[in-house]
Each structure stands twice: as C-alpha cells, then as structure tokens.
Amino acid sequence: MSLSRRAFLSGCAAMPFCVPLARFAVAETTIGNGTLTTLSDGHLTLPGSFIFEPMPQDDLAPLLSQAGISKTTLTPDCNVSLYRDGTNTVLFDVGAGPDFQPSAGKLLDALGKVDVAPEDVTHVVFTHGHPDHIWGLLDEFDDPLFYDATYMIGRAEWDYWMNPETVNTIGEARASMAVGAKRRLEAIEDAVEFFNGGDEVLPGIQAVSTPGHTPGHMSFEVRQGSEAALVIGDAIGNHHVAFMRPEWPSGSDQDSDLGAKTRAALFDRIVADDLKIAGFHLPKGGIGHVERNDSEFRFVPEAS
C-alpha cells in the first residue's frame, strides 16, 4: 500500500523521533470556552546589534545588566499561538520551517504533542511576513503544510511582500526575507483572504493594526465576553528593553520610529483594558500580563 504525502506528514507530526524537544505546549490560558495555547517553534540566535544598534548605548548598558541580558548574542524563544474554541482551530503564524535557523522550525512536532494534525487547523492568520513567522508555510514538497486551512493576512502586509520592488527597497540585510516571503505567499495566492485593522477576522477575533515592525503588522484581540487576550506577534518584540524603554527605537523594526509609537500605544491599551498578552518572542511561553511602573513596564508570565 502506498503512503500518501499527507498521511506521511500527519503521522510524522505525532512521532516523538521527528525532532526532540523538551517542551512543546509551553503556556496555556482559557478565554471563555476557548483555549489559547502557545507552542514552541524553538528559538533564534541573533546578534545583539540586530535590536540594540539604534539605542543610546550608554543608557542601554545598565538596563541590560539589570535584566541579565547579553549585548552580544540573543536567543529569543519562538511561540506560535494556537486558539481552539470548539469550532475553529486557529494558528497565528506558522513558525520558521526548516530553512531559516536550525534551532527553529519545530512547530509540527509541537502540534503533534497536543494532538493537532495539519488537517485539523481550520485557519492560519498571519501577524506579518518575517521568516520566523511565515517560512513554515510550505512542506518539503513546496505545498501548503496546513492544506485544509483558510489563510488570512492583512491587506497592507500582503501588498508589501508581494510587491516586486520590496526586495530592492528593504535593504541588503533583509533582501532574503523579501524573496522568501514572496515565494511562500505565492503558494496561497489563490486561496488567501484579506482583512484590515479593526475587522473581525473570525468570530471573537479582531485584527488590531500595529505597524512599524513591518508595514502591515497585525495583532489580534481574542475575546469571549469579558475575557480577552492580545496576540501581539512582534509588536512588542522582547521582554527587556521593549518593556523598560518602549519609546526607544529597535533595530528589529523596519520602521523604528513607527514601531516605537505603536509599542507605546499598545502598552497603554494592554494596561487600560487589563489584557493578557501572547508574545511571539516573550519568555516562558509568552502568555502573561503587563505591569506598569511609571513609564516602564514589566512582563509577568503565567507559566512558572
């Protein structure tokens, strides 16, 4: 009997020998009758300058010392959010896949550990088109991995990555990101649905425009009644300087000034509405809440 590609991939997702990970379902919270779970896609290894270069260096040093963060090398976690409400099984982003960094691309294994197969995913909703969020879109045959899902992305983000001029204007260091994003988005071009900030993309899930990290970056408020959480993608990209000095520019943002303004406004909304957050690069699974101390903030994870 022949083994189909789909059957093989579905089986591999549940097999412990595919890629060993110590922790898969990193954090979880309930929202009404729904469940928001973060799954580990592994981690990245980045030079500190990728984030810290545009910051005031004399003021930065004591903050990093206080937070216990290296200035030279960063290894941020990658947390993919999975929301299940009994009707829909929604992935926010799809991780890095096998072609970005060897320490990332573990989402398929993590899904298997929570008994979710690729065909169980009803919707894939993208925050933005950077490699660690979208390069896991395709399988080894260059077909969409989540083959029964509806794909959804903000119109501005789609237009940016699909524009053939983006590779020429994004800068040499990010040119491969543009090529990789366009290739993957082209694979779902005939099946993707678009939305704008403020739209209800699915029942109980509202898109929140949070540009700066990329031109069309989106966050998502997941709400049932009085219970809600904000899936923030990379709008708040780390648990240290982004919280301690949200107004500082970050080198990880494509528009650092706009990214800082977005970050400040997002913190105000999170605190004012007492929202839980799920952050892609925040520690301990990335689900937690935010505490304000004057002009600074602190991430308090739910996971111990």
Mean pLDDT on 275-294 = 97
To the nearest whole percent, how much of the chain has pLDDT over 90?
90
CB 161 within 8 Å of CB 181 = yes
* Structure token digits, residue 146: 């989540």
For the purposes of burial, counting CB atoms within 10 Å of the CB of 229, is it exposed (0-12), middle (13-18) or buried (19 or more)?
buried
pLDDT digits (tens, 9 = 90+) for 121-176: 999 999 999 999 999 999 999 999 999 999 999 999 999 999 999 999 999 999 99
What is the phi/psi pair of residue 270, to 5°?
-60, -45
β-pair partners for 145: none
pTM: 0.91
CATH 3.40.50.1000 fits 29-301, yes or no: no
pLDDT digits (tens, 9 = 90+) for 7-49: 323 333 333 333 333 456 689 999 999 999 999 999 999 999 9
Q: Supply the pLDDT for residue 74.
A: 97
Q: Supply the pLDDT for residue 26.
A: 84
Q: Supply the pLDDT for residue 47.
A: 97
CB 168 within 8 Å of CB 174 = no
Angle ∠(126,130,134) on CA atoms, nearest 5: 50
CB-side exposure of 259: number of CA atoms within 13 Å? 25
What is the phi/psi pair of residue 40, to 5°?
-80, 125
Q: Supply the pLDDT for residue 23.
A: 52
CB 127 within 8 Å of CB 219 = yes
pLDDT digits (tens, 9 = 90+) for 183-232: 999 999 999 999 999 999 999 999 999 999 999 999 999 999 999 999 99
Q: Supply the pLDDT for residue 303.
A: 74
Q: Supply the pLDDT for residue 24.
A: 64
Q: Where are the alpha helices (DSSP H) in 165-226?
A: 166-169, 175-186
Q: Supply the pLDDT for residue 25.
A: 65
Q: Where are the domains of the chain?
A: 29-301
The DSSP letter of residue 290 is E
State whether residue 32 is helix, strand or coil: coil
